[in-house]
Amino acid sequence: MLHAQGPLLTVDVGERAATETVIDDVLETCVGGRAAATALAHERIPFDADPLGPENRASLSTGPLQQSRMSFTGRMNMTGLSPLTDGLVSANAGGYLSRNFVGTGYSVLEITGESEELLAVHVTDSGVEFEAVPDLAGATVPETSAAMTERHDLGPEHCIAIGPAGENLVRFASVMTFDSRAFGRGGLGAVLGAKNVKCVTFDGDTRPPVEIPNPPEMDVHREAAQSDDRMRRQGTTGSTEFINDNFSLPTRYFREYEFEGVAAIGGNAIEEKKYKKGACSACAYACKLPTRDEETGLETEGPEFETVYSFGSLQGVDDVVDVMRANELCDTLGMDTISAGVTVAAYLESEDAFGDADLAQEITEKIASREGIGDTLAEGVDRIHGDLGVENWTVKGMEFAAHDGRVLHGQGLSYAVANRGADHLYASMLSLEYGGDLDPQGTAGKADTLVERENYNAFRDTGIVCAFGDDYVTPDRLETLFDAEYADLLAVGARTVTRERHFNNQRGFDREDDDLPYEIPGLEDAIDDYYDARGWSADGTVPDSRLESMTEATRD
């Protein structure tokens, strides 16, 4: 099976030391990306580690397809113990970082320890350097990447960075790359903040030999370039009005199911603000959304659908410029727009202030600096909903994405059991239910489909392939690219999901955590079916024998 190559680089920022470890056995069975990082985390992060302590390890990993020039491969994975959910979390970001990372010759970078002073870490194919950067304390993400450009001629495409939110340990702080692309969900920015790492740069010309089959690579690239999908013009916002009119667009902190101002913040409104094309590395699909408001001069990249929901309908805000401003603010300060927007919406609910975009912006800034009420809100909805007197719209501590499980019951089931919590991309049942391939109503008979979707998405984050490439990087092409049967690729994903669950079990997670803040038909029976399909126990835990048997199977 095709897999990433290159050693693991462990950087201990407390000791200011870097060591290389050969991990060929891990890569041969786990391919790369999310699967490899999860396997390493399971072995190397203590089960009782503090997410904000020195024993936590943040791993940045690449897959074999980042050696190719194929569309939909300009992405990387990041894995660590989440300050938001208290379990393992993996996040995925695009941009232009992946090829520069591959050029260092490593397959995985692991950051551990805790520095006494704020650091920039520089990783090249000839070594690692540590640079004290006390002058960048409190700097925004663009200010940080600008400093790296000026000092080292390494622009944002070479850099991951945190903003003030990460330094101030906001539990949903993001790690940013290319200034506007986020390893968004789960608070990995706070993990780097706790380690006192402001940024890491990557540069080099050492590329491990990975041979990618040319026919599917070229076919995918050509089809992506010729596509006339609406997503190429409007990104994920192209479905906003369809979802609002036919399903649900959560509105005013989940009070309502549709938003009367949707036309002012939906796909057409976003497209009107788009002023040029945007893409990720080597991708001809070019679905990014560089937008500009001519009247104010505001420029940002996006907002995508999830931000239109979290800072638009969920807050009762119907001005696209206000949503653009919130998007840019979160990117600049380094915060996940979903969790930040939902948390701000919870505050607006408590203050009966829906629609007040100026207040929302003020509160967003206070969260990043932990100023006043922002210090409370920076903990996330799960920890502070009681203080606000609002409902707890989270699963496992993670704030909900837009796709409403009260209407899409398969997606609701996915939210309940996902190791990551209320994240829409963990299984993406929503795509089947929106498209009519699966009846949105009810959960009966959906467990097997959910398992396959989780396994597929886990492998997709391992390869690594963009979620928007599913219509192009099809199962038969994956088989050709990875020189493996599709069932074997899904098995890599299955082992990854099981390792995540087993790790979280050791931290106290079980069936009680697989729950929703609302009722959907047949949820408990569907959870039983899901556990059966996974080979897990009825209490939501992974038997040691199950983990061992899956591990042994990869060695045979």
Per-residue buried b or exposed e for 388-423, using 16+ beta carbons within 10 Å of the residue's own CB: bebebbbbbbbbbbbbbbbbbbbbbbbbbbbbbbbb
Strands (E), 94-146: 108-112, 119-124, 127-132
Residues 270 and 321: beta-carbon distance below 8 Å: no
Residues 447 and 530: beta-carbon distance below 8 Å: yes
Tell me which residue of 248, 240, 368 sits closest to 305, measured CA to CA: 240
Model confidence at 547, pLDDT cuts 50, 70, 90, reads: confident
Model confidence at 414, pLDDT cuts 50, 70, 90, reads: very high
Question: Per-residue pLDDT tens for 437-482?
Answer: 999 999 999 999 999 999 999 999 999 999 999 999 999 999 999 9
> Residue 493: in which H helix or E strand, if any?
helix 486-506
Sequence-distant (≥ 6) Cβ neighbours of residue 113 within 8 angstroms: 12, 13, 14, 15, 54, 195
Is residue 413 over pLDDT 60? Answer: yes
Whole-number Cα distances in Å, 200 to 78, 132, 144: 13, 12, 10
Mean pLDDT of 361-390: 98
Instruction: Return the pLDDT at 356.
Output: 98
Question: Per-residue pLDDT tens for 245-264?
Answer: 999 999 999 999 999 999 99
Model confidence at 7, pLDDT cuts 50, 70, 90, reads: very high
Distance CA 167, CA 370 (A): 10
Q: In this structure, what are the phi and psi dihedrals at residue 151, rounded to the nearest 5 degrees? A: -85, -30
> Residue 490: in which H helix or E strand, if any?
helix 486-506
Amino acid letter for position 453: R
Is residue 555 over pLDDT 80? Answer: no
Sequence-distant (≥ 6) Cβ neighbours of residue 180 within 8 angstroms: 95, 300, 301, 302, 331
- Check residue 197 and report its DSSP letter: E
Is residue 485 over pLDDT 90? Answer: yes
Instruction: Return the pLDDT at 551.
Output: 75
Instruction: Return the pLDDT at 218.
Output: 83
Distance CA 273, CA 290 (A): 8
Model confidence at 153, pLDDT cuts 50, 70, 90, reads: very high
Classify domain 227-399 at the CATH class level: mainly alpha
Per-domain residue ranges of the chain: 8-203, 227-399, 409-555
Model confidence at 553, pLDDT cuts 50, 70, 90, reads: low
Question: Which two three-digit tokens encode residue 22?
Answer: 């050969």
pTM of the model: 0.98
Instruction: Return the pLDDT at 208.
Output: 83
CATH number of 8-203: 3.60.9.10
Instruction: Return the pLDDT at 550.
Output: 81
Mean pLDDT in the chain?
Answer: 97
Model confidence at 381, pLDDT cuts 50, 70, 90, reads: very high
Classify domain 409-555 at the CATH class level: mainly alpha
Residues 303 and 311: beta-carbon distance below 8 Å: yes
Mean pLDDT of 208-216: 78
Helix, strand, coil shares, percent, the chain, to 5: 45, 15, 40
Percent of the chain with pLDDT over 70: 99
In the sheet with 119-124, reading across from the earlier edge strand, the strands are 127-132, 119-124, 197-203, 159-161, 175-177, 181-183
- Check residue 212 and report its DSSP letter: P
Mean pLDDT of 115-132: 98
Question: Per-residue pLDDT tens for 328-363?
Answer: 999 999 999 999 999 999 999 999 999 999 999 999
Is residue 556 over pLDDT 60? Answer: no
Model confidence at 215, pLDDT cuts 50, 70, 90, reads: low
Tell me which residue of 46, 52, 112, 187 sits closest to 506, measured CA to CA: 46
Is residue 227 over pLDDT 60? Answer: yes
Instruction: Return the pLDDT at 450.
Output: 98
Whole-number Cα distances in Å, 465 to 1, 32, 64, 471, 535: 16, 12, 10, 12, 27
